[in-house]
Structure 1
Amino acid sequence: MTEEELYKIAENWFQLQNWKPFPFQKKTWSAFLKGKHGLLNAPTGSGKTYALWFPIVLNYIKQNPEYRIKHKKGLKAIWITPLRALSQEIRQSAERVTKDLETQMTVGIRTGDTSTNERAQQKRNMPDLLITTPESLQLLLASKGYDKTFKNCSAIVVDEWHELLGTKRGVQMELALSRLKTVSKNLRIWGISATIGNLEQAREVLLGPETEALKNSVMIRANIKKKITVKSIIPKKMETFPWRGHLGIRLLEDVVPIINNSRTTLLFTNTRSQCEIWFQKILEKHPEYAGEIAMHHGSINKETRTWVEQAIRNESLKAVVCTSSLDLGVDFAPVETVVQIGGPKGVARFLQRAGRSGHRPGKESVIHFLPTHAIELIEASALQEAVKQNAVEDRIPYLNSYDVLLQYLTTLAVSNGFYPDEIFLEIKQTFCYQAITLEQWHWLLNFLVMGSQSLQTYDEYKKVEVAEDGKFKVNNKGIAMRHRFQIGTIVGDANLTVRYQRGGYIGSIEEYFVSKLTQGDVFTFAGRNLEFIRIKGMQVHVRNSKKRTNKVPSWMGGRLTLSARMSELLRNELYSAYSPLKEQSEEIRSLAHIFERQGRESIVPRPYEFLIETFKTREGYHHIFYPFEGRFVHEAMGSLFGYRISLLSPITFSLAFNDYGFELLSDKQIDMQQVIDNDLFTAEYLLEDLQKSLNSTEMARRKFRDIAVISGMVFTGYPYKQIKMKHLQSNSQLLFDVFRDYEPNNLLYQQAFRETFEHQLEEGRLRMALERMASQEIVWKHCEQPTPFSFPIITDRLSRERLSSEKLADRIKRMAAILTKK
């Protein structure tokens, strides 16, 4: 069959649906059928799924002309999705094509939700097209005879590649692809990515630098202009002294008309606890929405999530309060409107969420921005600008993740075993391990067999044995089983399942939240008020309660920080406070009275100025710095400055920070001019000063826990019998201390420090921020009282003190009232 005849099959199918294929879809079909690899850059809702399912099926038709009557069984293509929630949607698209074209091809899903029976069936008879996750793909590589399973696989598509890039799950994919390239001789590798700043690098990471696959690859851009309209919800009455959180709920009534005027509205929150609060408050104030509003986040049980997703498609829900669990690719055509509650902290995340509305080619996406405090309107203005410029962040790939490599090598040793020379050549072709040396490689092999030099006397760390022919193999069934249970790179706090006393499953919450509860405490979860009865095993037993409560589970993953791109846009919008009125955005104009008051008490910094404010209250001496660089950078910078100031004269600070600045609070005054004159902002000696100021050993110790789990040094337990987080922590701390004292050149120990500085403290970004600040004019303002800019930082610190939220709200209102009167 010629290519023209194959295209005709596809075009006829599109015609029957009353659609017309986009040029980018045709380009992808052509490149794939010519045997090329590639990266497809296409926005959400543009038909990217059909851009790659079609050539996969057409390629099968080309090789099997009698496809209608004869069916050649076996795995032919793998579709990788980062989220299990997307798999049903992808399956529907695939089955639509395979059935309509009468191919007899089967489509299967293999994720953590797949039943044991279905997995056993797949083992006997693999589907032709398999939809799976990075973790489940690794599990397949851990099965004996995986090379026969993948032998005739002609394609692997990595969907939402931008979400995996810059994470250890992305490294997992790099390693899996390096093996599959060898095993499947005719494999085409394709990635699908929404827009990111470093698209070319994204392709290089997917295919491997300087590989044949990269040389024989294409970049296809959809170039579909998507109209995104951002509408800010601007409060009618704006406080002069803004504080975090309270404004959001106060604007609830502004959201009601938006919900009423749309078929379906998604309300995105940044955290699961915020999601729970909003769902409760909407129902409390508008009981008429009962049955028409739902909630969706990653800790709610799978059945509920699936029901919510289906109800959106059926248009039986007016609104869904959700988190990033609905960010990615699920196709919800009926969604008309999206509301973003609070700053999303990143341009890409905001655009992804905007794309949930008008999820069809050519349709306008409408997103409303609801600030949780007044200053967040500057973020809203920055996002308007980002949409105009199509300015999105880079995703920075990991390098030398030895923990992921050790897990992968154990996976290969558990299945067929591996020969080090063969695997070394493969992993050298990946982006993550392109610079690995033979010395490091031999250390890792030694670690698998001996458990590193300081652990040689302990048999539990000797997992892999070396056969006479040099093959590395796991022969112990117990070790193999434990390894399979622990495949993956996402390490969080231990999750406990929440169940009614009589057994109904509700969802999962993290151990550290439950540890604070006593019997009889009531908390809100999954839209219900639940009374805590007891913990039994890894289960939290609860019953429904009619008591009101303000306790909402919080999850450790809930801390978002401004991206570098977002910080830059935010500063530019702030500087526009001095522009003529007609050039300012509506959001900046609405903050005029705050800027006016800020200018009276201090200044609104211009592009060439860096602002420091000092004032005294009954709490002590406040020193506030405004880099506008995001909370992670401010946390590191606050500790750094505190350390440098203490070198001039002994002093103790407490640190508070948010996305806009940070506060050093002390019980005695410091001479700020002397501090500025002593090179406070220098980027010299940054690493040494950071290590001394931050207790970087303690931070690396926490990071090491994840590394110890991923590399398999620490076992997290069996399903429903997981090891408590405090035991995991103490086990990994023990290993950390052993390496620190006896083996400081241990690669995993060194990795903990490297990741602390590169990923947690964003040392590179901190250095650039210091260089920028050093080039600005330092403006030190000694103020009489807290300023509008300082108020959110001060109240952020107060909210971490042990006060109930009612008392805190009253106290902050009182403070704001006194300042406003003055």
Structure 2
Amino acid sequence: MKRAELLELADAWFRGNGWKPFKFQKDTWTAYLQKKNGLLNAPTGSGKTYALWVPILLDYIKKNPDYRTQHKKGLKAIWITPLRALSVEIEQAASRFAEEMGTQFTVGIRSGDTSQKERAAQKKSMPDLLITTPESLQLLLASKNYDKTFKDLQAIVIDEWHELLGTKRGVQVELGLSRLKTITKDLRIWGISATIGNLSQAREVLLGPDSEALKNSVMIRANLKKKIEVRSVIPKKMEKFPWRGHLGLHLLDEVVPIIKNSRTTLLFTNTRSQCEIWFQKLLNKYPEFAGEVAMHHGSINKETRLWVEQAIRNESLKAVVCTSSLDLGVDFAPVETIVQIGGPKGVARFLQRAGRSGHQPGKLSLIYFLPTHAIELVEASALKKAVEKQAVEDRVPYLMSYDVLIQYLNTLAVSNGFYPKEIFPEIASTFCFQGITEEEWIWILNFITKGSQSLQAYDEYKKVEIEEDGKFKINNRGVAMRHRLQIGTIVSDAMLSVKYMKGGYIGTIEEWFVSKLKPGDVFTFAGRNLELVHIKNMQVLVRKSSRKTAKVPSWMGGRMAFSAQMSELLREELYTAATLKKGEKRTNELKALQPVFQRQQKESVIPKSDEFLIETFKTREGFHAIFYPFEGRFVHEALGSLLAYRISLLSPISFSIAFNDYGFELLSDQEIDMQQVLDNDLFSSEFLMDDLYKSLNATEMARRKFRDIAVITGLVFTGFPNKLVKSKHLQSNSQLLFSVFRDYEEDNLLYQQAFRETFEHQLEEGRLRLALDRIKGQNIAWKKCEKPTPFSFPIITDRLREKLSSEKIEDRIKRMLKNLEN
């Protein structure tokens, strides 16, 4: 069958459904049938599944003219998705097209949610299209004779590639692809990505730099102008001294009409704990919503999550309070309205969430921005401009992730074994390991066979054996089983199952939160108040409680910081606010903030683009110095420690440090000689690494980072499914290894990686340098204030929140506000 005839089959199917294919879909079909690889850049809800699934099937029809009557079983295409929630959608779309085209193509899902029975069936007979996750692909590579499983593989599609790119899961995908390219003759690789700043680099990472796949590839963009309308929920009474403590709940009554006027609404929160609180408060105040409002986050059990997703599709729910668990995929056309509670911290995330509404080509996406405190309205104003400009962040790919490489080599050794000479060129062809040296490679091979220089005496670290013909292989069944159980790069705190005493699984919760509870304590989880009965075998046994007050679990993943793009937009918006003349046009958000800005101007200033603001004042707590780089909390954490260290070199003085996305505070019981700080050029980027090491206790941060590296490499074992190792034991085991490497083997690549990742990814050292260089070029606006200012108030109250319970903090802040208003 000629290409034109094949394309007509697809066109006819679209016409039969009353649709018309977009240009980007047709371009992708053609490119795929021309045997090209590529990256498709298309927004959520634009029909990207059919852009790639259609040509995969057409290619099969071309190669098998008698496809209607005969069918050769076996895996022909793999669709990788980062989120399990996406799998069902893709399966339904793919199955429908395959069936209606008259093929006998089968579609299957394999992820953490797939039952043992289903896995066993897949082992005997693989589906034609397998929808899976990066971890499950690695597990397939860990099974014996995986080369036979993949021998007829024609295509691999990596969905939501932008989500995987800046993570170690992305490195897993790169390594998996490097193997598949070798063992399958005619493989086509395609990525699907929403908009990111560095699209061409994203394609290079996916296909491998200087590779044949990259040379024979295309970039296809869906030029669908999505209309996004951003509306801010502006408080009727503007607080002049904003604080974050109420998580936006003071605007609860403003949200209810939005929910009532829409068919369906998604309320996005930034953390799971905020999600739990909003859900509870909404139902407590508006009990008529019972049964019409649900909650969705990653720790709730699978059945509930799937039920909620289905209920959104068939419009049986009015609203869902959710986290990023519904950011991606889950195609439900009926969602009419999105509410973003609190700043989303990044433009891409905001656009992604906006795209969930009007989730059909050509439909308007409506998103409401609800500030958790007044100054977040500046973020709303900045986001409006970002939406107009389509200004989106880059995703920074990982380099030299030795821990992921070691895990991958053990995976190959568990299945068929490998010959280093054959595997090395594959690994060096990936973006992550393009700079790997012969010396580093030998170190890694020694590490998996002998357990590194300082661990040679211990047999448990000698996992891989070298056979007579030079093949590297894991032959010990126990080692193999432990390795398979631990494949993956998402290392979180140990998760415990939450179950009712009488049976019934509710979800998972992090050990560090549960460890602070004692029997009888009540906590909110999955929208219910639960009383802790006891903890047994990694299970948290609970019963329902009628108590009204309860602790809300917080998850370690809850800390999000501004992206560099978002910081820049925010600064521009503030500078605009500072320089607006009377009669000049301003956004509704900036208009609403006038009382706050006037009070700020009265007590201090709003910095202009060439100014760096420092405020000092004294309260009962001591002497406050507040600095405003507007660079996001991670950069401020590092900057605060750096400055505190440099000041202490000038005069012995100790500080407590607080920070948020706008600035940081140094609090001391003695006054800082600010003139001395300015005269000594303490914002210099010279000796930055050296000073950061000393100021931040970088060793302590690297030690924490090393725990993850130790888990990924298999240096420490996290335990069997129902008998996980306690978090504190994992921590102490990995700390012991860290200390051994520090004292006896400083050139250990994993030890060095812990420090490198601390600086590159946690402290964002690159951004820190840029911030210091920018401050150096600005005029210092140092204001000696009488009392806290509107800009400083959120930082001060954030510090108090760390120390006080929620009831006490409310009272304390009310007293502070009373004094300030007077």
TM-score, length-scaled by structure 1: 0.99
In the alignment, does 2:416 pair up with 1:411?
A: no
Residue 245 (structure 1) aligns with:
245
In the aligned structure 1, how far is the partner of 2:188 from the partner of 2:599? 61
Equivalent residue letter for 1:307: W
**What is residue 679 of structure 1 aligned with on the other side?**
681
The alpha carbon displacement at 1:813 in A equals 1.3
Aligned partner of 1:643 in structure 2 is 645
Residue of structure 2 in register with 1:812 after alignment: 813
Counting only pairs closer than 5 Å after superposition, residues 716-735 of structure 1 correspond to structure 2 as 716-735=718-737
1:549 to partner: Cα distance: 1.6
Partner in structure 2 of residue 603 of structure 1: 605
Distance 1:246 1:149 in 2: 54
Aligned to 1:20: 20
Of 738, 748, 752, the residue aligned with 2:754 is 752
Give 1:431-450 correspondences, 5 Å limit: 431-450=431-450
Pair 1:221 & 2:242 matched: no
Matching residue of 1:132: 132
Amino acid at match of 2:460: E
Residue 71 (structure 1) aligns with: 71
1:668 maps to 670
Hey, what does 1:210 align to over in structure 2? 210
8 Å contact 2:161–2:192 — kept in the other structure?
yes
> Which residue identity does 1:75 align to in structure 2?
L
Amino acid corresponding to residue 729 of structure 1 in structure 2: Q
Give, in whole Å, the separation in 2 of the partners of 1:95 and 1:469.
Answer: 45
Out of 762, 765, 768, the residue aligned to residue 764 of structure 2 is 762
User: Counterpart of 1:232?
Assistant: 232
Residues 245, 798 of structure 2: 8 Å contact kept: no
C-alpha distance in 2 between matches for 1:266 and 1:582: 35
Residue 789 (structure 1) shift = 0.4
After superposition, give the CA deviation of every residue in 1:133-172 in whole Å (9 maximum; x if it has no partner): 0000000000000001001100000000000001000000
Partners of 2:645 and 2:213 lie apart in 1 by 49
Secondary structure at the residue paired with 1:38?
Answer: strand
2-side partners of 1:81 and 1:569: how far apart? Answer: 31
Kindly report which structure 2 residues correspond to 1:3-402, keeping only aligned pairs within 5 A, or say none: 3-246=3-246, 248-402=248-402
Structure 1 CA distance, aligned partners of 2:112 and 2:610?
53
> In the alignment, which residue of structure 1 is the partner of 2:796?
794
**What secondary structure sits across from 2:248 in the alignment?**
helix
SS at match of 2:413: helix
> Residue 487 of structure 1 corresponds to which residue in structure 2?
487
Partner of 1:617: 619
Cα deviations by residue, 1:256-302 (Å, 9 ceiling, x for unpaired): 11001100000000000000000000000110010000000000000
* DSSP 3-state at the match of 1:4: helix
Q: Measure the CA separation in 1 of the matches of 2:815 and 2:480.
A: 61
1:266 partner letter: L
| Equivalent residue runs for 1:692-731 within 5 Å | 692-731=694-733
Task: Please list the CA deviations of residues 776-819 of structure 1 after superposition, one character each: whole Å capped at 9, or x if unmatched.
Answer: 00111111100110000000000001x22111111101101210
RMSD of the TM alignment (CA)?
Answer: 0.6
Shift of the alpha carbon at 1:245? 3.2
**Aligned twin of 2:631:** 629
User: Is the 2:156–2:190 Cα contact (8 Å) retained in structure 1?
Assistant: yes
Counterpart in the other structure of 2:782: 780
Q: Secondary structure at the match of 2:618?
A: strand
Deviations 1:282-327, CA, capped at 9 Å, x for gaps: 0001100100000000000000000000000000000000000000
Match of 1:245, SS state, is coil
- Write out the 4+ residue segments of structure 1 that deviate beyond 2 Å after TM superposition: 580-583
- 1:462 maps to which residue? 462
Amino acid at match of 2:805: S
CA contact 2:38–2:190 (8 Å) conserved in 1: yes
Alpha-carbon distance in structure 2 between the residues aligned to 1:764 and 1:256? 43
* Superposition deviation, residue 772 in structure 1: 0.2
Paired residue secondary structure (1:335): coil
- Secondary structure in 1 matching 2:735: helix
Quote the offset at 1:682 in angstroms: 0.4
**C-alpha displacement of 1:474:** 0.3
Q: Which moved more, 1:535-544 or 1:587-596?
A: 587-596
Q: 1:385 offset after TM fit, Å?
A: 0.7
Q: CA deviation at 1:247?
A: 6.1
My pick for the range that moved more, 667-676 or 243-252, is 243-252
Structure 2 unmatched ranges of 5 or more = none
2: CA distance between counterparts of 1:479 and 1:470?
20
CA deviation after TM superposition for structure 1 residue 754, in Å: 0.2
Q: TM-score, normalised by structure 2?
A: 0.99
Q: For the residues of structure 2 that align with 1:229 and 1:597, how far apart are their CA atoms?
A: 31
Hey, what's the Cα distance between the residues in 2 that align with 1:777 and 1:685? 22
The answer to whether the 8 Å contact 2:85/2:329 transfers is no
Contact 2:247 2:342 in 1 (8 A): no
Q: Deviations over 1:588-641 (max 9, x none)?
A: 111111111111111100000000000011101000000000000000000000
2:545 corresponds to: 545
Counterpart CA distance in 2 for 1:636 and 1:680 is: 14
Cα drift, residue 329 of structure 1: 1.2
Contact 2:245 2:801 in 1 (8 A): no
SS state at 1:236 partner: coil
Please give the residue correspondences for 1:516-555 in structure 2 after superposition, counting only pairs within 5 Å.
516-555=516-555
- Paired letter, 2:572: N
Measure, in 2, the Cα distance between the counterparts of 1:150 and 1:131. 14
- SS for the counterpart of 1:246 is coil
Distance 1:550 1:523 in 2: 5
Structure 1, unaligned stretches of length 5 or more? none
Name the counterpart of 1:496: 496
Query: Which residue identity lines up with residue 383 of structure 1 in the other structure?
Result: L
| Higher alpha-carbon deviation: 476-485 or 571-580 | 571-580
Query: Which whole-Å deviations, capped at 9, do the CAs of 1:560-581 have from their partners, x for residues lacking one?
Result: 0000000000000011112245
Structure 1 distance, partners of 2:58, 2:597, is 61
TM-superposed CA distance for 1:203, in Å, is 0.1
**Paired AA for residue 42 in structure 1:** A
Residue type at the aligned position of 1:718: F
**Corresponding letter in the other structure for 1:399:** L
How far off its partner does 1:72 sit?
1.1
Q: Which amino acid aligns with 2:517?
A: L
Report the number of matched residues. Answer: 820
Identity of aligned residues (%): 75
Distance 2:729 2:555 in 1: 20
Q: Distance in 2 between matches of 1:665 and 1:139?
A: 51
Give the partner amino acid of 1:689. D
- The separation in 2 between residues aligned to 1:735 and 1:593, in whole angstroms, is 56
Confirm or deny: 8 A CA contact 2:719 2:725 kept in the other structure: yes
CA distance in 2, matches of 1:111, 1:492: 18
Matched residue type, 1:813: K
1:550: Cα distance to partner? Answer: 3.6
Counterpart of 1:215, as a letter, is K
* Separation in structure 2 between the aligned mates of residue 302 and residue 742 of structure 1, nearest angstrom: 46
3-state DSSP of counterpart to 1:806: helix
Deviates more, 1:333-342 or 1:588-597: 588-597
SS in 2 for 1:377: helix
Question: Could you tell me how far 1:583 is from its partner in structure 2?
Answer: 2.7
